[in-house]
Amino acid sequence: MTSLRSGVKLILMKLHQYTFLILILSFFTSYSIAETKIKYKTYEKLPCKFNGARVTSTASPNPYISGGRAVCLQNKKSGYSGKMGTTIEIKRGTPVFAVKDMELVMATDYSSKFMCSPNNIDNYKKIKGTKYKTINHPVSGEKIKCRYPWDGLTLTFKTWDNDMVLYYHLMPDTPLVPGFGKGKCKIREFYKINIPKQRYKVRVNYDDCGGIKKKIVNKGEIIGYVGHATSDHISFNISPKQKGFLNSPEKKEHGLIWENYPKNPNAFLLPIMSKKYLKEIGYKK
């Protein structure tokens, strides 16, 4: 009789475990189905327009070669010699995402409230979206025209498969190095003008600002936010297998595969994601 009871008890325990396993599998299956509400797409090149963003001026990292032609601007000459990243324009404060599973290897910031010339220059080229303010020079007192704000957070990553990825002109606000923009790393008042009572260093690195809090990021995680430097945008580039940052990484000829949802570990995720994706991950402003 005791043996029978033990057998029944064992069967009930097994049934309980089986039921629990089915519930767990059902949970993950339903979560997977929820993820697939975003229709998966791949691209043979970085699209010129995606998720409200627009690709404009192109990267020309070599300072000794004249700026390249932007494929997303009908091959017009756009950018400048030594421009490290292609411009992706979208509203300041928009989240920016990890394009692969990556490790943060360098983080610096040169953000300031104003970008002015030390001298009174009044002939800044008028560019759509640029914000100007005329103020008194903090030393001479003469009127000067300044652009603002001037966001200069730069993040460099190494991907799991040995590529390098560069983002810059991000706002000085990142979960990876939370010390940027705070305390002794508070942004300067002026980028090019030295005055008392502002941070002495024009550019600070992560060691100056409390170090890196989160070094490893997964594809699809928020790494920062779109900044403003003459216009609302980030600049972005890739160095495949660390062989050098690309001229015009948006060109098809580089053979990079892009995707709109984190699925293929070998593909690059779009650095600006859809509103559906933001909702899916629970992002709130």
**CB distance 216 to 157 below 8 Å:** no
How much is the pLDDT for 129? 75
How much is the pLDDT for 68? 85
Q: In angstroms, rounded to a whole number, what is the distance separating the alpha carbons of residues 93 and 40?
A: 26
How much is the pLDDT for 119? 55
How much is the pLDDT for 35? 57
- Predicted model pTM: 0.85
How much is the pLDDT for 139? 87
Q: Which option is the CATH number for 36-280: 2.60.40.10, 3.30.1330.60, 2.70.70.10, 3.40.630.30?
A: 2.70.70.10
Three-state SS annotation for 79-110 = CCCCECCEEEECCCCCEEECCCCEEEEEEEEC
How much is the pLDDT for 125? 60
User: What is the DSSP-derived secondary structure letter of residue 72?
Assistant: G
Q: In angstroms, rounded to a whole number, what is the distance separating the alpha carbons of residues 143 and 147?
A: 13
How much is the pLDDT for 55? 98
Angstrom distances, CA of residue 227 to CA of 98, 136, 155: 16, 25, 13
How much is the pLDDT for 2? 46
Q: Which regions in the chain score pLDDT beneath 50? A: 1-34, 120, 123
Angstrom distances, CA of residue 265 to CA of 89, 189, 208, 236, 282: 26, 42, 33, 19, 23
How much is the pLDDT for 31? 34
How much is the pLDDT for 6? 47
Q: In angstroms, rounded to a whole number, what is the distance separating the alpha carbons of residues 2 and 155?
A: 68
Cβ neighbours around 158 below 10 Å, total = 17
